[in-house]
């Protein structure tokens, strides 16, 4: 299957906790993020098409606020290598310039480095 990705996926070395902003229940941990989408490792099989607001915990290194809320729609899910977990892909439906900058800092600080010359 051909990857339709427009922005290169950047896996993270640090898995921030992610919550459903509506009920403040943890739904999983952030695996990767771009300004257009995110992947969460979750113990819950979140249905495709479900809309929600993800609340992502932020460290002091990346932002001057404790969390970022993003309106998202679940695009896909698949079983993780750990059979008790699911990988869930979300499309970010809208995002502020401030949050785009925060995502850039997350990737800069916690993203795996490419093995390509600069």
Each residue's pLDDT tens digit, 35-50? 999 999 999 999 999 9
pTM: 0.82
Q: Is residue 117 part of a domain?
A: no
Q: Is residue 8 part of a domain?
A: no
Q: Indicate if the pLDDT at residue 12 is higher than 70.
A: no
Q: Is residue 6 part of a domain?
A: no
Q: Is residue 18 part of a domain?
A: no
pLDDT bin (cut points 50, 70, 90) of residue 69 is very high
Q: Is residue 2 part of a domain?
A: no
- What per-residue confidence (pLDDT) applies to 78? 96
Q: Is residue 42 part of a domain?
A: yes
Q: Indicate if the pLDDT at residue 117 is higher than 60.
A: no
DSSP 8-state symbol, 41: E
Q: CATH number of the domain at 90, please.
A: 2.40.10.220
Q: Is residue 118 part of a domain?
A: no
Query: CA 112 from chain center: how many Å?
Result: 15
Report, as an integer, the average pLDDT of 19-28: 96
Please give the tally of structural domains in the chain.
1
C-beta atoms surrounding 29 within 10 Å: 19
**Domain span including residue 55:** 25-110
Q: Is residue 116 part of a domain?
A: no
Measured between alpha carbons, how far is 41 from 26 in angstroms, rounded to an integer?
Answer: 11
Contact between 65 and 73 under an 8 Å Cβ cutoff? The reply is no
Q: Which residue has the higher pLDDT, 74 or 62?
A: 74
């Amino acid at each position: 299957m051909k990857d339709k990705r427009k922005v290169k996926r950047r896996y993270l070395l640090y898995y921030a906790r992610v919550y459903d902003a509506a009920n403040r229940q943890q739904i999983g941990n952030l695996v990767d993020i771009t300004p257009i989408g995110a992947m969460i490792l979750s113990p819950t099989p979140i249905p495709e098409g479900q809309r929600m607001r993800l609340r992502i915990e932020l460290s002091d290194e990346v932002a001057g606020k404790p969390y970022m809320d993003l309106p998202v729609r679940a695009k896909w899910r698949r079983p993780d290598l750990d059979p008790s977990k699911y990988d869930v892909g979300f499309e970010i439906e809208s995002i502020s310039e401030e949050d785009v900058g925060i995502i850039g800092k997350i990737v800069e600080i916690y993203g795996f480095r490419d093995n390509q010359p600069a």
